[in-house]
Structure 1
Amino acid sequence: MIDWDDVRYFLAVAQCGSVRAAAERLKVNHSTVLRRISQLETRLGAQMFERLPSGYQLTDAGEDILLLAAQMEATSNAQESRVSGRDQSVRGLLRITLPPPVATYLLMPAFVEFARLYPDIEMEVMSRDDPVNLTNREAEIAIRVVYNRENLPLNLHGLKGPDVMGGVYIARDLLGDWQAGSVSKVRWIVKKRNGVPDWAREGDIPFADVPFVTTDTEAQIIALRQGLGVASLPCFIGDADPALIRVPGSLLRQHGTLWLLTQGETRKTKRVRLFTEFIAQKLAGYEALLNGTSIVP
């Protein structure tokens, strides 16, 4: 008989492509993953993976067992969701995943307030850009900026929040220098994966051709505050920073819409319901800041 625990490790390696990545996902040691895979191979009498320099590749036997493993995972997740849905206590683990800027610059005070209201709920805030799989129960709640509603997975329950607008921002001191004539052109400060936007020439300030590239929002904002150039930011970051101001003549653009996402029966648990209701109210109160109408341009 196949042990689901062994299959879980097999599936993680098949999906991640390496033992190291699978171990990180499952939060276990590298050796534990190898031992579980070895147990499964011994039980089935077949080799599941071919060890290549580029990673772990499924053998023919591994391909055959992959579909069964996915079906076992789906059954296990459905059972766990039904059990979780009947959990009406206000204690236990609550994992929330969201983009780092939304956590740092918008919702962390609300998270702290919720944690104080419900001290028996263990909150784990996963501030990361890469998506977390709610179906696999890697988190209970995802807060995401969604650009196209049609891209939302059909198996997730979504609660729509306010639209998120963005603008082009510059340090007040740098704007003063440009207005005084001591600066002729200003550089764009961009995140590496985004690059300079197509509308980069918009606004009254002339821009230099050479950008300054960072790897994350935090570094981008620090460079912006230091007066290096201009950057595109969500209004909830740029408008709330007293050192920054919108570039004269630039327009606001929609970054997306905030959504609270939950999965299956999990959303019926009391701690998940309490949290989503609480954060939905907070987001409604932040609407002007999120859509850029909290200040006079």
Structure 2
Amino acid sequence: MIDWDDIRYFLAVAREGSVRAAAERLEVNHSTVLRRIAQLEERLGAQMFEKRPSGYRLTNAGEEILEFAEQMAASSNQLATRVFGRDQSVRGLLRVTLSPMLATHLLMPDFAAFAALHPDIEMEILSSDEPVNLTNREADVAIRVVYDRSTLPPNLHGLKGPELFGAVYIARELLADWRAGMAERIRWIVKKFDGIPDWGREGDIPISEISFKTIDAGTHIAALRQGIGMTALPCFVGDADPLLAKVPGTGLHMHGTLWLLTYGETRKTKRVRLFTEFLSRRLSVYAPLLAGLAASD
């Protein structure tokens, strides 16, 4: 008899392409993944993967098993979601995914307030820009900035929130230096693989051809505060920081609309409903801040 847990490990390696990545996704150690794969191969009497320098590649037998494994995973997720949706207790785990900036600079006080109101709900905040699959119950609620509503998956239920605007910001000290003629061209601080948006070039300050690159939101904002250059930020981040100012000659730019997203039966769970209704009210209060209308230089 095949153990469903072995199938989960098989799927993780097949999807991630490496044992290490699968172990990180499943939150187990490397040896556990290898042991589970070996156990499945022994029960099926076939080798599932071929190890190559580029990673783990499915064998012909592995390819045949993959389709059935995906079907098993889908059925398991559907069952778990349906049972979860029947849960009307205000107790248990609630997983919320959102970008690090939204978590750190806007919503953490609201998460704290919700946790205080409902001490029996165990909250897990998945602060990441990486996509999370709600269908597979990787999270219960996703807070996302959506530019085009038509791109939302039809199987997700959404509560529409306020529109989110951004602007170009610079450290106030660096702005003073530029106005005093001490800096002619200013670097653009690039986050990850982003470039300079066209609307970011519309300001009065010329942009240097030499950029400054960072890989995470915390480093990005720290570099801006240190006067290394200028960059685009959501208004709820830039306007709330006393060390920063909008770059002269630039306007506001709409990034998209905030949505609270849930999947199928999950949204019927009482703790999910309580959270989405609570946060929807809080987001409406933040509408001026999110639109860049709550502060002026």
Tell me whether the two structures share a fold, i.e. TM-score over 0.5: yes
Residue identity matched to 1:174: L
For the residue of structure 1 that corresponds to 2:198, the secondary structure is coil
Paired residues of 1:161 and 1:258 also in contact (CA < 8 A)? yes
The separation in 2 between residues aligned to 1:208 and 1:55, in whole angstroms, is: 40
The separation in 1 between residues aligned to 2:18 and 2:113, in whole angstroms, is: 40
Match of residue 234 from structure 1: 234
The separation in 1 between residues aligned to 2:268 and 2:216, in whole angstroms, is: 35
The separation in 1 between residues aligned to 2:214 and 2:23, in whole angstroms, is: 30
Unaligned runs of 5+ in 2: none
Q: 1:63-102 to 2 correspondence within 5 Å?
A: 63-102=63-102
Match of residue 169 from structure 2: 169
1:272 aligns with 2:251: no
Paired residues of 1:161 and 1:284 also in contact (CA < 8 A)? yes
TM-score (norm 1): 0.96
Residue identity matched to 2:66: L
Paired residues of 1:196 and 1:211 also in contact (CA < 8 A)? no
Q: 1:201-220 to 2 correspondence within 5 Å?
A: 201-220=201-220
Give the RMSD, CA atoms, in angstroms: 1.4
What's the offset of the Cα at 1:188? 1.3
1:48-68 per-position Cα deviation (integer Å, ceiling 9, x unaligned):
111112111111111111111
The separation in 1 between residues aligned to 2:200 and 2:256, in whole angstroms, is: 19
The separation in 1 between residues aligned to 2:29 and 2:139, in whole angstroms, is: 21
Q: What number of residue pairs does the alignment pair up?
A: 297
Q: 1:1-297 to 2 correspondence within 5 Å?
A: 1-296=1-296
Which sits farther off after the overlay, 207-216 or 77-86?
A: 207-216
Unaligned runs of 5+ in 1: none
For the residue of structure 1 that corresponds to 2:199, the secondary structure is coil
The separation in 1 between residues aligned to 2:209 and 2:35, in whole angstroms, is: 55
Runs of 4+ in structure 1 over 4 Å off = none
1:68-113 per-position Cα deviation (integer Å, ceiling 9, x unaligned):
1111111111111111011111111111111101100011111111
Percent identity, aligned pairs only? Answer: 68
What's the offset of the Cα at 1:13? 0.9
The separation in 2 between residues aligned to 1:209 and 1:19, in whole angstroms, is: 41
TM-score (norm 2): 0.96
Residue identity matched to 2:192: K
Which sits farther off after the overlay, 48-57 or 276-285?
A: 48-57
1:5-48 per-position Cα deviation (integer Å, ceiling 9, x unaligned):
21111111111111111111111222222222122212211111
Paired residues of 1:170 and 1:229 also in contact (CA < 8 A)? yes
